[in-house]
Homo-oligomer: A and B are copies of this chain.
């Protein structure tokens, strides 16, 4: 039996709505150490991490459909607030909001949690700026069984709503590290026993060569650079080796998320002895 909700919040000017709305801005997310997860899938994944969800906003229509989700939130001690469709439209970043969103506490962990001997596959993003690309890489890393994703240097904020949406819930699945400098990150991961491979379209060796050389089968940290200009020379120099995704056709390069998918699955396959 789903609990009845309290009175519906109908004003977009109410302080609670304004506070939640402000989480669309990075500086205010940092201050509140909170971010928004939109839609039933993201809210369900957030609730699967105990203690992450602090508030839930839900429309009457969505309460009917996602009552179990709301009950779960209540049981975890989250504040559940009924809102009108107008308030939901104000809070949500999507064009067609699905009627439920959660205010979540930051989930990132210190680098030391990922830079451990047990880590077999880690991703370092260096100056990746597009939230959709970054979120897709995080989702792909999750699918490939990675042990963590590091948003280093001036990479996009993983809590950006577009990025959260592109992760399709994966931001709640694996350790995420934010803002560590790339040099320190590489050093820590190498110290923990990982080989650091830079994905670079201009590298002298391709994945097809790296595989047979056994480069992919050990613990690996993949370093991916900016979608337009790749990895600068000083960052490339930090890696143990650079590896290119082979281009068999006429394309000049691959999109970052596609290249990451090929590299991460090549590693996952090699590590599993395929």
A258 touches B168 (CB 8 A): no
| Docked CA distance A266–B268 (Å) | 13
A136 close to chain B: CB less than 8 A: yes
Give residues of chain A (215-255) contacting chain B, Cβ–Cβ below 8 Å. Answer: 245-255
B262 touches A168 (CB 8 A): no
Q: Is the CB of A168 within 8 A of B251?
A: yes
Is residue A185 within 8 Å, beta carbon to beta carbon, of the partner chain?
A: no
CB distance from A38 to the nearest CB of B (A): 15
Q: How far is the CA of A174 from the CA of B248 in the complex (A)?
A: 12
**Complex Cα distance A18/B268, Å?**
52
Question: Which of A136, A174, A248, A274 has the most chain B CB within a 10 Å cutoff?
Answer: A248
Which of B174, B250, B251, B272 has a CB less than 8 Å from the CB of A249?
B174
**Residue numbers in B under 8 Å from A257 (CB-CB):** 136, 255, 257-258, 261
A52 → chain B closest CB, angstroms: 15
Q: Is B251 touching A143 in the complex (CB atoms < 8 A)?
A: yes
Query: Pick the contact of A168 from B139, B208, B253 — CB < 8 Å?
Result: B253
A250 to B172, CA, bound (A): 10
Across-interface contacts of A262 in B (CB, < 8 A): 261-262, 265
A255 adjacent to B136 (CB under 8 Å): yes
| A26 CB-CB contact with B under 8 Å | no
B-facing mask of A256-274, CB < 8 A → 1, else 0? 0111111001101100101
Residues of B within 8 A of A132 (CB): 132
Chain B residues with Cβ below 8 Å from A268 are 246, 248
Collect the chain B residues with CB atoms within 8 Å of residue A145's CB.
Answer: 248-249
- Quick check: A245 and B136 within 8 Å, CB to CB? no
Nearest Cβ on chain B to A252's Cβ, whole angstroms: 7
- Assembled-state Cα–Cα distance A265/B251 (Å): 14
Asked if residues A254 and B143 are in contact (CB atoms below 8 Å), the reply is yes
Residues 128-145 of chain A: 1 if any B CB is under 8 Å from the residue's CB, otherwise 0? 000010001001111111
Further pairs besides A143-B249, A143-B253, A246-B268: 13, Cβ < 8 Å: A139-B258, A146-B249, A169-B251, A170-B249, A170-B251, A173-B249, A173-B250, A174-B250, A254-B261, A259-B261, A261-B262, A265-B265, A265-B266
List 9 contacting pairs A-B, 8 Å CB cutoff, sorted by A. Answer: A139-B254, A208-B272, A208-B274, A245-B265, A248-B268, A258-B261, A261-B261, A261-B262, A265-B266
